[in-house]
């Protein structure tokens, strides 16, 4: 028998995933949570999933009237028309007349127990699924805790004997804790509000393994959505061990052929230096192979990114129209880290996406509504998952210094990467320039030289190695001594003439009163 046949769906796909398929049939499960946590909504999902599966479903409402439950369900877009209700909620007139929150007077309890009424309805409906909301109302009808526990145990045993899977809610209060109910149940689903959102955990589940930890939960139109914490070790895919090229020969030479599939590359640099453009260049080349890429933009509006790329001969609009590129603008504080990871996972598994770019890491950290430590841990898990799936990952890491002493990456990121590419502004004789280089490549050798980097109306333009320049990473670029410099300058000019058809090299200098001067002859045509 398959897992799906062995399990009873909760009605929430993400929660089924947490439970490795759903509830074990013919058992009792407890839903805990403070008021407004979503306990009743989860019960509605549970029952309506049964109705869709041609099962009988019974809602035993001990607190809220049926009409109000149906109104709440309709407001969320949940159809409970196929669910049977046993309304045992207190009558509003009773509260007004008696100024009491007891459901039944003592003489009523003696005449007919609440559980007897439920038992009769169960026998009439023969439900496959039962939702009792909340079972702690029975506590008010019992003379003491011993009788309450005895009645609940007897009640649960009766429901099991009818072949039903039972879900019940609990109201845990300091004066009446629900520890006893936790021991009686076969499993516990705990819904909680945390500082930056909602989470669900499963601290107890008999008869099966589950995904431990806190999983993000959202309540909106359509009801509850659960986004399980990503466990990268559960995913694996065979893929070709090959390099993907950028289409810019000099950049590919720096990287010894390109970026390997299933690796993580950090592109590090100051604001406006060209990190995003460099990442999109790899996606442009991938589109020519018919491969799909996606950019998750945390720091720039989609329209701005599209305009910038189009202005330098990168046809991203055409790529998006053909489906080889998607640009997703992520709004601040709208998603948790696990929700974002779930979105990326769907993109990869449904669309066979081969390159994922996160632009950038600092925006990711600030935009997602989690604690910093949790966010970085989730980013590590996401990258490991993508590597296991053969996806090439490009992370944009923004450093705040424009010029000056070089910084590699933010704390906690460097060990995550297989490759590190840096693009840096440098100041030479009162002129701002850009250089590009590779600091790390785990899977192969790479070129150790630094090259000049420019963005022109025709796209990326990368020069020959700057053999005579030193001190770039220290923030104080200078040429080597005169004799060595002359030899290196001649070599550089010969290389540039061969590539540019006789135009001046990117760095050209002469001497006057011991001062060094440089003139750039590498302007875009």
Answer with the residue of higher pLDDT: 295 or 137. Answer: 295
CA 124-129-130 angle, to 5 degrees, is: 75
Give the separation between CA 227 and CA 14, rounded to whole angstroms: 5
Domain boundary among 228, 259, 288: 228
pLDDT digits (tens, 9 = 90+) for 436-457: 999 999 989 999 999 999 999 9
Instruction: Tell me whether residue 32 is in a domain.
Output: yes
CA 454-457-458 angle, to 5 degrees, is: 85
pLDDT of residue 525: 32
Of all residues in the chain, the percent with pLDDT exceeding 90 is 55
Domain co-membership, 44 together with 15: yes
Evaluate the CA torsion angle 141, 147, 149, 154 in order and state its sign: negative
Domain co-membership, 211 together with 286: no
Mean pLDDT of 262-290: 95
Q: Under DSSP, is residue 326 helix (H, G, I), strand (E, B) or coil?
A: strand
Where on the phi/psi map is residue 49: left (φ > 0), alpha (ψ -120 to 50), or beta? alpha
Domain co-membership, 249 together with 206: no
Which of the given ranges, 89-93, 98-102, 146-150, 304-308, has the highest pLDDT on average?
A: 304-308
Of all residues in the chain, the percent with pLDDT exceeding 70 is 80
Inter-helix orientation angle 39-52/66-76, to 10°? 80
Query: How far does the chain reach from its first CA to its final CA, in angstroms?
Result: 69
pLDDT of residue 134: 87
Instruction: Tell me whether residue 293 is in a domain.
Output: yes
Domain co-membership, 130 together with 267: no
Which of the given ranges, 109-123, 140-154, 505-519, has the highest pLDDT on average?
A: 140-154
pLDDT of residue 114: 63
Domain co-membership, 120 together with 262: no
Answer with the residue of higher pLDDT: 120 or 99. Answer: 120
Domain co-membership, 247 together with 221: no
pLDDT of residue 524: 34
pLDDT at 271 over 80: yes
360 preceded by cis ω (within 30°)? yes
pTM above 0.85, yes or no: no
Find out whether 205 and 48 touch, Cβ atoms under 8 Å.
Answer: no
pLDDT of residue 180: 76
pLDDT of residue 327: 97
The alpha carbons of the chain give a radius of gyration, in whole angstroms, of 32
Helix and strand numbers (H, E) in the chain are 17, 24
pLDDT digits (tens, 9 = 90+) for 159-173: 888 889 999 998 766
pLDDT of residue 515: 32
Q: Which domain holds residue 284?
A: 243-466
- Domain count along the chain: 2
Domain co-membership, 322 together with 448: yes
pLDDT of residue 107: 44
pLDDT digits (tens, 9 = 90+) for 343-384: 999 999 999 999 999 998 888 888 887 776 778 889 999 999
Strands 243-244 and 259-260 turn out to be: antiparallel
pLDDT of residue 235: 93
Q: Which residues sit opposite 469 in a β-bridge? A: 479
One-character DSSP codes across 380-411: HHHHHHHHHTT-EEEEEEE-S-SSSS-----T
The CA distances from residue 11 to 78, 127, 198, 216, in Å, are: 11, 16, 18, 16
Instruction: Tell me whether residue 238 is in a domain.
Output: no
Q: In sequence order, which residues have a C-beta less than 8 Å from that of residue 350 and are 6 or more positions away?
A: none
Domain co-membership, 316 together with 196: no
Domain co-membership, 168 together with 306: no
Domain co-membership, 176 together with 29: yes
Instruction: Tell me whether residue 233 is in a domain.
Output: no
Instruction: Tell me whether residue 471 is in a domain.
Output: no
pLDDT of residue 275: 95
Domain co-membership, 31 together with 172: yes
pLDDT at 299 over 50: yes
Ranking 44-58, 104-118, 272-286, 309-323 by mean pLDDT, the lowest is 104-118
The DSSP code for 330 is P
pLDDT of residue 467: 82
pLDDT digits (tens, 9 = 90+) for 207-266: 889 999 999 999 999 999 999 999 999 999 999 999 999 999 999 999 999 999 999 999
pLDDT of residue 513: 31
The count of residues in the chain is: 525
């Amino acid at each position: 028998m398959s897992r799906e046949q062995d399990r009873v769906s909760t009605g929430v796909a993400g929660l089924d995933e947490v439970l490795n398929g759903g509830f074990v049939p013919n058992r009792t499960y407890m839903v805990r949570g403070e008021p407004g946590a979503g306990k009743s909504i989860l019960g509605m999902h549970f029952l309506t999933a049964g109705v869709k599966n041609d099962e009988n479903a019974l809602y035993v409402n001990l607190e809220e009237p049926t009409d109000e439950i149906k109104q709440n369900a309709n407001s969320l877009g949940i159809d409970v028309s196929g669910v049977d209700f046993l309304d045992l909620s207190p009558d509003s007139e009773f509260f007004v007349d008696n100024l009491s929150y007891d459901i039944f007077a003592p003489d009523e309890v003696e005449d007919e127990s609440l559980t007897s009424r439920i038992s009769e309805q169960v026998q009439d409906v023969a439900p496959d699924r039962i939702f009792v909301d909340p079972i702690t109302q029975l506590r008010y009808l019992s003379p003491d805790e011993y009788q309450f526990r005895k009645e609940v145990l007897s009640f649960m045993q009766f429901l099991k004997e009818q072949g039903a899977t039972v879900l019940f809610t609990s109201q845990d209060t300091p004066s009446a804790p629900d520890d006893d109910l936790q021991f009686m149940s076969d499993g516990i689903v705990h819904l909680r509000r945390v500082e930056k959102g909602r989470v669900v955990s499963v601290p107890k589940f008999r008869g099966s393994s589950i995904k431990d930890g806190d999983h993000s939960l959202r309540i909106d139109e359509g009801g509850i959505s659960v986004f399980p914490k990503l466990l990268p070790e559960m995913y694996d895919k065979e893929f070709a061990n090959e390099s993907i090229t950028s289409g810019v020969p000099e950049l590919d030479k720096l990287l010894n052929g390109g970026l390997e599939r299933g690796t993580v590359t950090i592109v590090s640099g100051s604001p406006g230096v060209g990190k995003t453009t460099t990442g999109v260049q790899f996606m442009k080349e991938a589109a020519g192979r018919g491969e799909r890429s996606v950019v998750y933009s945390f720091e720039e509006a989609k329209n701005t990114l599209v305009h910038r790329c189009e202005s330098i001969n990168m046809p991203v609009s055409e790529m998006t129209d053909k489906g080889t590129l998607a640009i997703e603008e992520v709004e601040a504080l709208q998603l948790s880290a696990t929700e974002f990871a779930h979105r990326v996972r769907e993109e990869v598994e449904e669309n066979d996406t081969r390159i994922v770019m996160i632009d950038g890491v600092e925006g990711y950290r600030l935009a997602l509504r989690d604690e910093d430590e949790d966010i970085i841990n989730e980013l590590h898990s996401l990258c490991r998952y993508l590597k296991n799936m053969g996806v090439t990952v490009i992370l944009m890491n923004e450093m705040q210094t424009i010029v000056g002493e070089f910084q590699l990456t933010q704390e906690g990121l460097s060990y995550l990467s297989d490759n590190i590419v840096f693009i840096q502004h440098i100041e030479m004789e009162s002129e701002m320039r850009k250089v590009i280089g590779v600091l790390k490549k785990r899977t192969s050798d790479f070129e150790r030289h630094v090259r000049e980097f420019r963005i022109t109306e025709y796209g990326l333009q990368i020069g020959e190695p700057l053999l005579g320049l030193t001190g770039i990473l220290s923030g104080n670029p200078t040429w080597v001594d005169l004799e060595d410099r002359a030899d290196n300058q001649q070599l550089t000019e010969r290389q540039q003439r061969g590539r540019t058809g006789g135009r001046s090299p990117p760095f050209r200098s002469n001497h006057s009163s011991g001062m060094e001067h440089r003139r750039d002859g590498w302007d875009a045509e």
